[in-house]
Structure 1
């Protein structure tokens, strides 16, 4: 199958792969190995640093700390949601499902859609789902709408399927909402993504009630939070990527 990823999305992925763990730590270790025979003290220091960083980034405690920096918005109250005019659910990715022969929502998208449906049923508010096809193929918004209809019996009023990043989600969604006379919304996305998403939507002149979902939580306590896990490595990588995105947005005035 040909690669249909847009050049802009591909560039973001390449930069993220190069500058974020685990590749950045691997490059640090390779630099240490190369310097070990030329400048032994510096080489050994870099090798040791890469090992420490790798260990830290695999810890549940590190994932909790990093995502705690991002997860600044508390859960939304139903009263605050009822005061808005619509619920906007951001896409968080889709993936192939060989068992069904089609595309399904990623874990992040699935949790957002589930929470959006939960809110819609309790408030009667219309839903807008937003997500394009940054990697080509079927748009996230289309898959989200299909899941809402088939699994939750809800048909979103608006399906935005042209955006390939959070800024475009906000811009394209605002255009649809303004045409319907809507300016006060509830925004559903991952708790770690909300801090970056909010400024984009507010910059469109929307009044936004944040409704975060998928908070970073671990059942493990005490010493178990200092034992490396694959899940923690994934969540620290996601948090670091989000922090980079947050800094980029701030530099652009959001």
Structure 2
């Protein structure tokens, strides 16, 4: 694991739920004897935060400002030269005998395969190995061939971050004269990712997938769930990433 990736993981753990709220609650417990009101307030805020972030309603609200691009339409797809699919993690899969794409990667890969079949446009898969081992794009390429019967034209395996996805993928595309792409990732990721590809001189159409939506409504959207907590965490991490790159001027 590179020092850059490790620092991002550590900083994210400290600044994002659930650890930041758990630390707040522990701090509140420590203050209760000397400053009972302050300690009680911190405990209450921590518990309220954990509850709110685990509700579908807040998960959808946090992602609403990130999912700024609508679904790709047929006209946009017809104008691009290639389809770029960004990786979103991998995981050990004993039942398959090796590494497989994580949930985010698999959702992106499925949608990228659908677009490729609809348009006949070539695919570029982008993603390195931020935590070591096999590159995520290589894992995705194997699954693309085995499960979808498609082969990517390009496989970019050096990138550890979204910014590096953009830089390395753009260099491969430019070498083949490609200037217009459809960029596939989760809707919440494209607000940050798409401008990075544009700054590499590419004309980019957003191809979002995995919109944060829940069936039903009413009281069900206020009941806590592990899925909602995960999606709230992803949204907050993305907002933190946007702030980080703005401060860096990238």
Please classify the TM superposition score into its range, dividing by the shorter chain length.
over 0.9
Is structure 2 residue 80 aligned with structure 1 residue 84? yes
Tell me the C-alpha RMSD between the 2 structures: 0.8
Query: Which runs of 5 or more structure 1 residues have no equivalent in the other structure?
Result: none
> C-alpha separation between the residues in 2 aligned to 1:106 and 1:211?
19
**Displacement of 1:26 after TM fit?**
0.6
**Displacement of 1:232 after TM fit?**
0.5
Aligned to 2:33: 37
Secondary structure in structure 2 of the residue aligned to 1:129: strand
Aligned to 2:196: 200
Which runs of at least 4 in structure 1 moved beyond 4 Å after TM superposition? none
Is structure 2 residue 210 aligned with structure 1 residue 214? yes
Secondary structure in structure 1 of the residue aligned to 2:95: coil
> C-alpha separation between the residues in 2 aligned to 1:150 and 1:47?
51
**Displacement of 1:69 after TM fit?**
1.3
Aligned to 2:154: 158
> C-alpha separation between the residues in 2 aligned to 1:11 and 1:129?
25
Q: Deviations over 1:202-251 (max 9, x none)?
A: 11011100000000010130111011111101110111001100111222
**Displacement of 1:18 after TM fit?**
1.1
Query: Which runs of 5 or more structure 2 residues have no equivalent in the other structure?
Result: none
Is structure 2 residue 231 aligned with structure 1 residue 226? no
- Of 13, 20, 39 in structure 2, the residue corresponding to residue 17 of structure 1 is 13
> C-alpha separation between the residues in 2 aligned to 1:92 and 1:100?
19
Secondary structure in structure 2 of the residue aligned to 1:154: coil
Q: Is the 8 A contact 1:78 1:119 kept in 2?
A: no
Aligned to 2:139: 143
Where does 1:1-254 land on structure 2 (aligned, <5 Å)? 5-254=1-250
> C-alpha separation between the residues in 1 aligned to 2:90 and 2:49?
31
Secondary structure in structure 2 of the residue aligned to 1:212: strand
**Displacement of 1:78 after TM fit?**
1.6
Q: Deviations over 1:96-153 (max 9, x none)?
A: 0011220001111001011001000111101000000011110011011111111111
> C-alpha separation between the residues in 2 aligned to 1:86 and 1:72?
22
Q: Deviations over 1:3-49 (max 9, x none)?
A: xx222111111111111111100110011111111111111111111
Q: Is the 8 A contact 1:92 1:109 kept in 2?
A: yes
TM-score by length of 2: 0.98
**Displacement of 1:94 after TM fit?**
0.6
TM-score by length of 1: 0.97
Q: Is the 8 A contact 1:142 1:159 kept in 2?
A: yes
